[in-house]
Amino acid sequence: MSISPELVSRIVRQTVQEVVARRPEEPGRAAPAPGGRDGGGIFATMDDAVEAADRAWRQYLDCSMRDRRCYVQTIRDVCSDDAALRRMSEAAVEETGMGDARDKCLKNRAAALDTPGVEDIVTEAWSGDDGLTTIEFSPFGVIGAITPTTNPTETVINNSIGMLAAGNAVVFSPHPRATRITHWLIRRINAALAEAGAPANLITTVERPSIENTNAMMAHPAVRLLVATGGPGIVRSVLSSGKKAIGAGAGNPPAVVDATADIPQAAEDIVDGASFDNNLPCTAEKEVIAVDSITDLLKFEMLKHGAVEVRDPAVIERLASFVAKDGHAVASWVGKPATALAAEAGLSVPDGTRLLIAEVPFEHTFVQTELMMPILGIVRVKDVDEAIDKAVEAEHGNRHTAVMHSLDVRALTRMGKRIQTTIFVKNGPSYNGIGIGGEGHATFTIAGPTGEGLTSARNFARRRRCVLKGGLSVR
Ligand code: NAD
C-alpha cells in the first residue's frame, strides 16, 4: 500500500500541533491560547470552565476504579519529580512574593505523595437475613475549589488528588496573585492525565481569576460542592451560598510551653515551625505563651536555632507599625523573610536569621494578629493554667491549630479540651500536624469551621446507600 506525501505531511503537522499543545509551559511565562482548546483546562469564562468540567465528570463516571487509581498516581508522579517541585516552588515564591522555595518543595512533595487517594473511600456493608446493604462514597460531580495565595500549588495538588480520587471533576478559582503558577500546574496535570487516557478537563480554571469569577463559580448550578481554603471572607461567602460547602479558614496558632517541657527541644521545634515557609502555613506557630520560670531559658535556646530577639521597644513598635494595619496583616509583608523584615525596621541581623522573636504584652499585635510572617510574639505568664487560658483567647475561637510543649499529661489533656482546635500538636513543630514529619496523611485544606477537619477524598464524596433485599449474605 502506498501512502501519499500529503497524508504523511498532514499526520506530521497534526502530531506536532498536539505535542506543542500538550506541552506544559514554563512557570512564569504568559499562558498560550486561552479557552481550553489545547486541553490545558484554562478557559476564557467561568461558565466555560464549569461546563467543560461537567462534561468531563460525566465521562469520568464511566471510568473504572482502576482508572481512577491510575489518574491519581499520574498526578502524584507529575507533581513530585524533583525538577517540577523545584520549578513550581521557586515560581510560586516569585509570583506571590511570599514564602521560601525550599520549604515549599517539602510542602508540595507532601501534597503529591501523602494525600490519600482512592483507598480513602472505603465501602461499609451490612449483611444479614434481609440481604445486603452497602454505603458507598459517591462523587458530588463538579466541585468548585477556591485556593489561597499562601499555598497556591500545594492546595491545587492536594485538592486535585482528593477530589478526583472521590470521582469528581474540579474547577479551581485561584487567588489572582497566583494565576501564572496555578495555570502552569493545571496545564501540567491535564497534559499528564491526557497521556494516561483520562477525560479532558477533569481540572479546569479561568484565564483571569477574580472575585467576580469566584462568585460566578459559586452561583453556577453545575457546581455541587464548594471548598474554600482561605481567610474569613471567602469562608463566609461559601457558607452563605446556599450550597453544600467546606470552609477551611484562618488560624492564629498559639504554642504553650510549661515548666515540665524539654526546653531545648521546644525551642528548636518552635523556631522550625514558626519559620517554616516564612510562617505562611495557617498551622504555623503565631505566638508563644510561656510560663515565667522557663521563659528566659526558652528564648536563650531559640537563639541557637536562628532566632533573633528584638528587645528595643522602639524597634518592636517600628516593626508593628508596618506589618499590620487595623488588626490585619499587611499583604505586602506576608511571607517575607525575617532578614527583610528586620532591614525595614532598621535592625541589623546576621545572614541566615530565620525568625524574629519579641517579648510583648498579651494584647500586642504580634500575639493577636494572624501575621503569617516570621515574627513571633512571646507572652510570659505565671503558670500553666494562665498559659492555657491565654492560648484559648489568642486562638480567637478559630478552632484551627494549637501546639503545646509539656511532659505533664494532665496539662496536655486540659489544653486539648479547652482549646478545641482541629489540630493539636504536642511536643513537636506545628507542621507535624499536617503530615510533614508527623504521623497521618497530608492535607492543605483544614476545615475547622465546618468540621471535616483534615480533608481527604471521603470529605469530597456523598454517602449513598444501596440495598439488595433477601440475598448475598453467606454468613
Ligand atoms: P484570602 O482569603 O485573601 O484568599 C483566599 C481565596 O479566596 C483567594 O482565591 C481569593 O481570591 C478568594 N477570595 C477572598 N475573598 C473573596 C471574596 N470576598 N469573594 C470571592 N473570592 C474571594 O486568603 P489568602 O491571603 O490567599 O490566604 C491566607 C488565609 O487563608 C489565611 O487566613 C490562612 O489562615 C488561610 N488558610 C487556611 C487554610 C486552611 O486549611 N484552613 C489553608 C491555607 C490558608
Take atom 24 of ligand 1 and give the residue whose Cα is closest.
Answer: 148
* Residue 271, C-beta contacts closer than 8 angstroms, at least 6 positions apart: 302, 305, 306, 307, 354, 355
**What CATH number has the domain bearing residue 340?**
3.40.309.10
Residue where the block lists cell 515574627: 375
Residue 295 within a domain:
yes
Quote the distance between the C-alpha of residue 152 and its chain's center: 7
pLDDT of residue 235: 96
Which atom, in ligand 1's list, is nearest to the CA of 150?
27
Q: How many CB atoms lie within 10 A of CB 176?
A: 14
**Hey, which residues does 135 pair with through a beta bridge?**
124, 465
66 shares its domain with 91: yes
pLDDT of residue 37: 53
Inter-helix orientation angle 82-96/152-165, to 10°: 130
Q: How many CB atoms lie within 10 A of CB 106?
A: 18
- Least Cα distance to 253 among 78, 99, 431, 75 occurs for 431
CA distance 236 to 228: 9
Amino acid at 78: V
- Check: CB of residue 331 under 8 Å from CB of residue 284: no
Residue 315 within a domain:
yes
Take atom 35 of ligand 1 and give the residue whose Cα is closest.
Answer: 230
Query: What's the sign of the alpha-carbon dihedral 178, 326, 249, 241?
Result: negative
- Check: CB of residue 422 under 8 Å from CB of residue 397: no
* Region for residue 309 given its phi and psi (left: phi exceeds 0; alpha: psi -120 to 50; beta: otherwise): beta
Residue 25 within a domain:
no
Take atom 13 of ligand 1 and give the residue whose Cα is closest.
Answer: 234
Among 147, 150, 283, 336, say which to mutate for ligand 1: greatest number of ligand atoms within 8 Å of CB. Answer: 150
200 shares its domain with 297: no
DSSP 434: G
pLDDT of residue 471: 83
pLDDT of residue 9: 43
Residue where the block lists cell 489544653: 415
Residue 48 within a domain:
yes
Residue 205 within a domain:
yes
SS3 50: helix
**Distance between Cα 230 and ligand 1 center (Å):** 2
pLDDT of residue 452: 97
Residue 87 within a domain:
yes
Which atom, in ligand 1's list, is nearest to the CA of 210?
11
**Distance between Cα 439 and ligand 1 center (Å):** 27
Beta strands in 93-140 (DSSP E): 124-128, 131-139
Residue where the block lists cell 484559648: 392
The 223-229 sheet, strands edge to edge = 42-43, 203-206, 169-173, 142-146, 223-229, 244-248
Residue 447 within a domain:
no
290 shares its domain with 428: yes
The count of domains in the chain is: 2
Among 46, 95, 146, 441, say which to mutate for ligand 1: greatest number of ligand atoms within 8 Å of CB. Answer: 146
Ligand 1-lining residues (CB < 6 angstroms): 146-151, 173-175, 211, 214-215, 229-231, 233-234, 237, 248-251, 282, 370, 444-446
- Least Cα distance to 42 among 208, 176, 166, 154 occurs for 208
Range of the domain at 308: 254-441
Which atom, in ligand 1's list, is nearest to the CA of 147?
9
pLDDT of residue 39: 63
217 shares its domain with 121: yes
pLDDT of residue 474: 81
Take atom 20 of ligand 1 and give the residue whose Cα is closest.
Answer: 211
53 shares its domain with 197: yes
C-alpha grid cell, residue 366:
504580634
375 shares its domain with 410: yes
Active-site residue identified among 70, 79, 282, 466: 282
Write the burial class of residue 471 (CB in 10 Å: 0-12 exposed, 13-18 middle, 19+ buried): exposed
Rg (CA), the chain: 24
CA distance 357 to 106: 24
CA distance 181 to 452: 28
SS3 309: strand
pLDDT of residue 33: 35
207 shares its domain with 261: no
Average pLDDT per block of 10 residues along the chain, 475 residues long: 46 40 41 52 97 97 97 98 96 98 97 98 96 97 98 98 98 97 97 96 97 97 98 96 97 98 98 98 98 98 98 96 96 98 96 97 98 98 98 97 98 98 98 96 96 98 96 82
**What CATH number has the domain bearing residue 46?**
3.40.605.10
Residue where the block lists cell 482549646: 419
160 shares its domain with 287: no
Take atom 10 of ligand 1 and give the residue whose Cα is closest.
Answer: 175
Query: What's the sign of the alpha-carbon dihedral 390, 392, 394, 400?
Result: positive
SS3 311: coil
Q: What angle do CA 17, 19, 25 make, to 5 degrees?
A: 105
- The answer to whether residue 105 is catalytic is no
Quote the distance between the C-alpha of residue 474 and its chain's center: 45
131-139 and 461-469 as β-strands: parallel, antiparallel, unpaired?
Answer: antiparallel
Element at 144 (helix H, strand E): strand 142-146
Residue 148 within a domain:
yes
259 shares its domain with 231: no
238 shares its domain with 316: no
142 shares its domain with 278: no
DSSP 142: E
233 shares its domain with 275: no
**Distance between Cα 96 and ligand 1 center (Å):** 13
Residue where the block lists cell 515540665: 260
pLDDT of residue 448: 93
**Hey, which residues does 423 pair with through a beta bridge?**
401
